Amino acid sequence: MSVREEIAATQPGPFTYEELLYTPDDGKRCEVLEGALVVGPSPRTKHSRF
């Protein structure tokens, strides 16, 4: 279980943007949607090319 998953699992109620700021920056894409922490893979290099 990652640190983000542990934080989300132990937090009562909705997850907030302020709590998101305290999660580690491990390169994964994170969002707070309707109070839920959503973690996705980091963007591929193909998306960062112009």
Query: Which pLDDT tens digit goes with each residue over 4-37?
Result: 666 666 666 788 888 888 888 888 888 888 888 8
Confidence of residue 2 (pLDDT cuts 50, 70, 90): low
Give the pLDDT confidence score for residue 30 in this predicted structure.
Answer: 84
Between vectors from CA 32 to CA 28 and to CA 33, what angle results, nearest 5°? Answer: 120
Count helices and strands in the chain by DSSP H and E runs: 3, 2
Q: Which amino acid is at 42?
A: S
Q: Is pLDDT of 46 > 80? A: no
Give the pLDDT confidence score for residue 3 in this predicted structure.
Answer: 64
Give the pLDDT confidence score for residue 4 in this predicted structure.
Answer: 64
